[in-house]
Structure 1
């Protein structure tokens, strides 16, 4: 049992290494493959520009409305009529108090409603700035990664950027449209209140001018109803974009094997350096270990009873590593000599030869020995 445990550890380690090397190799192949992407910075700029929302914030014009400007004139006219009428003169103080209350109420509406318009307009301007920063950030991220991504990956990231941008615009557009609707409803209520008060004052002024009988009761009723409860002005809520101060709406592109799911996650440490040779070395180690363990069963090799378990395990590692390195160096060196262009060997061929070399390590060493001996014999004859 003690002899099997080290073999199992080496076996599962080799499985992990060969698995991540295959995933990393496939990822690099995906990056190197495919032609030009149909999406460029120009198409991205067009897509983001066409997505820009049209949000209209209404201007605050309540104090400039004609009906609102006429109310002070009617208050002055009614005050004069009441003061001159001996029957109604006793109601002057009541009217003045109600008129003052009405004026204060209208001023209070103006004081509360105007800042809401201003605040919403400012939020719209800040949102425009935010979108500009968002577009710039999208261009920076896309252009930075464009040279590193395959056509397929570039298309996928392009879609991620556009979708994220559209989602940001959508959520904030809903907010602004809702805020504008609520603000316009409040303004309509204030305007209705103003029109209602103007109509009451017009009616009271006309009543006082035309009546020739005792009108104290009717006039008193109309005077007391000049004022009412004011309109509730809702505050401006925070917009969705205001909670994102660091412009995080554009996603970062995870180029570390995301398309492989959990396999990509466990292989990300090998994918991230983006080094072809590193992947080959790790794969060579994995397949070398795997082959060394397999060789025990294929060649029916037994542990040396004169050695400890640790020493036997080390022997397996050395035999597998050494055979794999011989294959690796021979392959790389041969390609470098014969090829004046790229000297990158096919990783799958290299992994296969490393595996075979590790399994049949003794023939590999015999070949290496014969190669060196023949090389030196040839050199000696020339001299």
Structure 2
């Protein structure tokens, strides 16, 4: 607040509290804590100054309430209230302005001082740039001279913003034009993305297809964390060890959903805690099931029968072959139902493994 000999002349409400989390994790207490600092305090200031002849009533809001704020549902609501209060005051002839600040550089201190490097990289990769202190002061002067009740003060990289996977925030679509190529891609249904991936996997062995899926998940995980290369992602390390939290986990789920065309669970990263586990899960959904072995076995036995008819009539050779066949048959008939012994080998083998067993038995 600003005061002179005649009393209070201006109010600047800059308070704010963060308690980020997914909507499903926000308890009434967590919501109240954030609203109290922003919305409640602003409303008290509004009511307490109605009888004062103010020249300025400035509310520090955030782009979380106007553009986007992943994991900041409570904070977004609090700042949206500030924007609405500014319009309410202006509609009643009272001075007011709500300034929706973008991301401040961690060097400026304040609420972003503890921001992790990976989080900063992820935000800037989406097109939003951090504000420097001197840049913020220039924007403040310009905004204070504007008549609008609500003003967004946030620098952004137009090229990055136009080409990001999440699309351009609706409020900025009149300022940033998406390339035709990206627009067409964004308009494509998720099923087409899945079809494209399936086409990449067509003709590959299950092992080769599995490796493609591993690299897909590694690449998306690296992009979410702001890494320049997927080499930074160890496929066997838990996502929590790599730096994932609830917000980045959902972002990874969303990116993989777009890449595969699958409807993936919101708990994907928690149910499948590393790259290998997610790749295997996706593979189970999109890779064709293994062909049934029985028809191939019967075909091979027919070929074996034809081969046996060509065996010369010497007694020693026929005895040796008969012995091996009996060993194979005894193992097949005597194996337990859960797959012990030769029968278990046969029951669980794929086609290539089964042919190897036959070759070994003969």
Q: TM-score range by the shorter chain?
A: under 0.3
Structure of higher CA gyration radius:
1
Higher relative contact order (CA 8 A, sep 6+): 1
Comparing both structures, which one devotes a greater share of its residues to strand? 2
TM, length-normalised to structure 2? 0.25
> Could you say which structure has the higher helix fraction?
1
